[in-house]
Structure 1
Amino acid sequence: MSASNNNSEQRKTTILFLCTGNSCRSQMAEGWTRHLKGERIEPYSAGIEKHGLNPLAVRVMAEAGVDISAQQSKLIDELPSMPFDYVVTLCDHAHESCPYFPGRIIHQGFPDPPHLAKDTSSEEAILQAYRSVRDLILDFVEETLPDSLTN
């Protein structure tokens, strides 16, 4: 009985993933974190602006077995009022525009999938741009959000 009490008393580490429009990178990071580390981390995502959930981000995440279709693009002000243990900025604009958060701020920039895909003409090349960023974010979540952050 005390083991279950200990589990219920342990608070999950809260992480906010922040990027410009909360349409691709931060949505992918939230999805990967919930999928891979949801038992220890409560992930959130938001943007400096609100661009809507990008359907190609949803598509490439689904290819990898992670459903982010129910996530919504949101501004920081739309998040629950709570302290975040970590704020991870995923692009330079978000890092430079990040409001004050009392938690630890980590900057890990990733390329913007729509920007990578803008000069491509085939659907496969466009999807490959999104997949490459998806996989970079997966590596970050697996390797840089280790248990040491959540202890």
Structure 2
Amino acid sequence: MVQGEDRLPSSVLFACSMNAVRSPMAEGIMKMLFPFKVYVQSAGVHEGQTDGFAAAVMEEIGADISRHVPTTFEDLHDTSFDLIITLAPEAHHHALELAHTMDIDVEYWPTQDPTSEMGTREQRLAAYRRVRDQLTARIRQRFGWKPPASV
């Protein structure tokens, strides 16, 4: 698979508020698109609970996050990431504090929280799919992902 490996950091941390929806989705997408190329982890400012809707929409694209256990910044054993991508304002402020004392790049990707969507089950799942698809597009663009060559 030919990818923009010159644009790939060796390690990425995705962060959001609760590490239950957005950051685990981004972690799963990154691992799916760049398997064994980048060390990827996710964390939240607070510890949330595993979200079934997030797992369901990720399963639709072949990424299994059903066993994800929400983690906080404080739970991280290693904080020497090359890049932290934050998906929520609170996580961004926390990451900037961490990066202040270390040589870590921080990027803010404002991402809607799909848990705030009200309505039917399908309407709520549609909100999760929008977030998943936006994260997929952003990760592909940012890291220069290219589809595998056809044989």
Q: Is TM-score (shorter-chain normalized) higher than 0.5? A: yes
Identity %: 29
- Correspondent of 1:141 among 139, 142, 145: 139
State the TM-score, normalized to the length of structure 2. Answer: 0.83
Instruction: Pick the structure with greater CA Rg.
Output: 1
Spell out, residue by residue over 1:44-85, the C-alpha distance to the aligned partner (whole angstroms, 9 max, x if none): 000000112211100100011111112210111111224100
Spell out, residue by residue over 1:117-147, the C-alpha distance to the aligned partner (whole angstroms, 9 max, x if none): 13x2x11111101000010011111111237
Counterpart-to-counterpart distance in 1, 2:43 and 2:79: 14
* 1:88 aligns to 2:85 (yes or no): yes
**AA aligned opposite 1:106:** E
Q: Report the equivalent of 1:132.
A: 130
Number of positions where the alignment pairs a residue of Structure 1 with one of Structure 2: 133
- Correspondent of 2:32 among 22, 31, 35: 35
**AA aligned opposite 1:131:** R
SS of residue in 2 equivalent to 1:87: strand
The equivalences for 1:62-73 within 5 A come to 62-73=59-70
* 1:75 aligns to 2:72 (yes or no): yes
Q: Report the equivalent of 1:8.
A: none
Q: Report the equivalent of 2:44.
A: 47
- Correspondent of 2:21 among 9, 20, 24: 24
Q: Report the equivalent of 1:106.
A: 107
Distance 1:71 1:82, change over 3 A: same
Counterpart-to-counterpart distance in 2, 1:35 and 1:13: 15
State the TM-score, normalized to the length of structure 1. Answer: 0.83
Q: Report the equivalent of 1:13.
A: 10
Deviates most, 138-147 or 41-50: 138-147
Spell out, residue by residue over 1:81-109, the C-alpha distance to the aligned partner (whole angstroms, 9 max, x if none): 24100000011221123332221001111
Spell out, residue by residue over 1:15-63, the C-alpha distance to the aligned partner (whole angstroms, 9 max, x if none): 0001000010000000000111122211100000011221110010001
Counterpart-to-counterpart distance in 2, 1:80 and 1:123: 37
Gaps of 5+ in 1: 1-11
Greater relative contact order structure (CA < 8 Å, 6+ sep): 2
Alignment RMSD (CA, Å): 1.4
